[in-house]
Amino acid sequence: MGIAHGWRVQLLQRKPLPQTLAARCPTSCCVGSTQTVGWSPMSWQAFPRLLFQTVPATPLAAAQEKAEGATSQEEQSPEAPDSPSPISSFFSGSGSKQLPQAIIIGVKKGGTRALLEFLRVHPDVRAVGAEPHFFDRSYDKGLAWYRDLMPRTLDGQITMEKTPSYFVTREAPARISAMSKDTKLIVVVRDPVTRAISDYTQTLSKRPDIPTFESLTFKNRSTGLIDTSWSAIQIGIYAKHLEHWLRHFPLSQMLFVSGERLISDPAGELGRVQDFLGLKRIITDKHFYFNKTKGFPCLKKAEGSSKPHCLGKTKGRTHPDIDPEVVRRLREFYRPFNRKFYQMTGHDFGWD
């Protein structure tokens, strides 16, 4: 039963809907296609083993990790829409709760919140606002508990959630595969050096007393040895984390979204996402405007509101000035991993 038919059922049971509301329901959906990119596993022996050893955190890194814990509340408490829309209110008592068919699995500080908020404009997407953290922190609560967190959907709609920490959680791929091998996975990636600085900036806003970015970056600054035990560095080694996912999911079920293009061309990236999810291309250029003050695109009308909507003050923070030599060393460190990631995904993100 398609979504249009679902509306007809509701009309038999309730008073007629206002014409403007009924007009918002699309009558058809088109199925997009994905292209499988060939990938040949390469041995990680070609890279220094030291990079992947589990190294006890230094006191400086430990202080940073503790500070990062204070930021989880922010990531799990996104701003709510201004007010419930008539269509959202109507859905709240209709349909059924389903396990998600698509999940935004990463990465932290890559642009996942922006992508989710943009996608929620689509009438065939129903998503959880806060991050469930089911496959990394609450897996013992069971799938029934997880399903109950989801919004109600009608036939033809997609249920989604986003938790960026899934991408770097070793257990997450197997757990999501056990739920459904057909789950579609979306990864928003960003220049790993910029991402690390953004990660640090978020923590610094909560804990101004933490050590400097430069101090946390190195195990020993005089030797230039990068501290890969620091999560801000570790998250950006995308190729390493992707290997774990490819053991459980084919590349055709994964879409890699450019965090940079999500800012420079949001409609273009959303077009790719809608195709990947098998949705009609409803979100287009007409939905966005660029906010020069914040430095990123905003929605002309957010889901559940008739007003323009930008992400909150916790997004788009001004980064601190980082020693250029430290930035240069980080770029050298990430370069081989970036190239490996380009090869694995079949896409050059242009970070080098």
- Provide the pLDDT for residue 316: 57
Q: Is residue 226, in this structure, part of any structural domain at all?
A: no
Q: How far apart are the first and last CA of the chain?
A: 48
- Provide the pLDDT for residue 294: 65
To the question of whether residue 301 is assigned a binding role by annotation, the answer is no
Amino acid at 5: H
Write the CB contacts of 8 (distance below 8 Å, at least 6 apart in sequence): none
- Provide the pLDDT for residue 222: 81
The token pair that represents 69 in the structure block: 């814990």
Closest CA to 170 of 116, 248, 236: 248
pLDDT single digits (tens) 98-148 = 999 999 999 999 999 999 999 999 999 999 989 999 999 999 999 999 999
Calculate the alpha carbon distances from 140 to 134, 135, 136 in Å.
9, 9, 10
Q: Which residues pair with 98 in a beta bridge?
A: none
Q: What is the band of 303 on the pLDDT scale with cuts at 50, 70, 90?
A: low
pLDDT greater at residue 252 or residue 24: 252
Total residue length of the chain = 352
- Provide the pLDDT for residue 27: 37
Give the distance, in angstroms, between the CA of residue 61 and the centroid of all CA atoms in the same chain.
25
Is a pLDDT exceeding 70 seen at residue 224?
A: yes
| CATH code of 173's domain | 3.40.50.300
To the question of whether residue 335 is assigned a binding role by annotation, the answer is no
Q: Which residues pair with 153 in a beta bridge?
A: 96
Q: Is residue 347, in this structure, part of any structural domain at all?
A: no
Q: Is residue 345, in this structure, part of any structural domain at all?
A: no
To the question of whether residue 109 is assigned a binding role by annotation, the answer is yes
pLDDT single digits (tens) 56-102 = 444 444 444 444 443 443 444 343 333 334 344 444 558 999 999 99
Q: What is the band of 15 on the pLDDT scale with cuts at 50, 70, 90?
A: very low
To the question of whether residue 317 is assigned a binding role by annotation, the answer is yes
Give CA angle at 253 (250, 256), nearest 5°: 110
How many CA within 13 A on the CB side of residue 190? 25
Flag the least confident range among 159-163, 268-272, 292-296, 305-309: 305-309
Q: Is residue 262, in this structure, part of any structural domain at all?
A: yes
Residue in the block written with tokens 């009609």: 280
To the question of whether residue 159 is assigned a binding role by annotation, the answer is no
pLDDT single digits (tens) 243-280 = 999 999 999 999 999 999 999 999 999 999 999 999 99
- Provide the pLDDT for residue 69: 43
- Provide the pLDDT for residue 306: 60
Q: Is residue 299, in this structure, part of any structural domain at all?
A: yes
Q: Strands 152-153, 96-97: parallel, antiparallel or unpaired by DSSP?
A: antiparallel
161 close to 103: Cβ distance less than 8 angstroms? yes
Evaluate the CA torsion angle 161, 149, 182, 249 in order and state its sign.
Answer: positive
46 burial type by CB count under 10 A (0-12 exposed, 13-18 middle, 19+ buried): exposed
Give CA angle at 117 (175, 24), nearest 5°: 110
Q: Is residue 134, in this structure, part of any structural domain at all?
A: yes
Q: Is residue 57, in this structure, part of any structural domain at all?
A: no
Q: Is residue 240, in this structure, part of any structural domain at all?
A: yes
Q: Looking at the 3D structure of the chain, how many domains does it have?
A: 1
Q: What is the mean pLDDT of residues 222-247?
A: 96
CA 345 – CA 327 distance, rounded (Å): 25
> Is 97 part of the annotated catalytic residue set?
no
What secondary structure letter does DSSP report for 162? E
- Provide the pLDDT for residue 24: 40
Annotated catalytic residue within 66, 97, 109, 340: 109
The token pair that represents 281 in the structure block: 């291309």
Domain containing 158 equals 96-192+232-319
341 close to 242: Cβ distance less than 8 angstroms? yes
99 close to 159: Cβ distance less than 8 angstroms? yes
To the question of whether residue 111 is assigned a binding role by annotation, the answer is yes
- Provide the pLDDT for residue 289: 79
pLDDT single digits (tens) 150-195 = 999 999 999 999 999 999 999 999 999 999 999 999 999 999 999 9
Is pTM beyond 0.85? Reply is no
Residue in the block written with tokens 């197997």: 174
Q: What is the mean pLDDT of residues 200-229?
A: 93
- Provide the pLDDT for residue 319: 83
Is a pLDDT exceeding 90 seen at residue 203?
A: yes
pLDDT greater at residue 246 or residue 320: 246
To the question of whether residue 28 is assigned a binding role by annotation, the answer is no
Q: Strands 125-127, 184-189: parallel, antiparallel or unpaired by DSSP?
A: unpaired
| φ and ψ of 264, to 5 deg | -80, -30
Burial string for 228-246 (b: 16+ CB within 10 Å, else e) reads bbbbbbbbbbbbbbbebbe
To the question of whether residue 281 is assigned a binding role by annotation, the answer is no
**Bond into 193 cis (ω within 30):** no
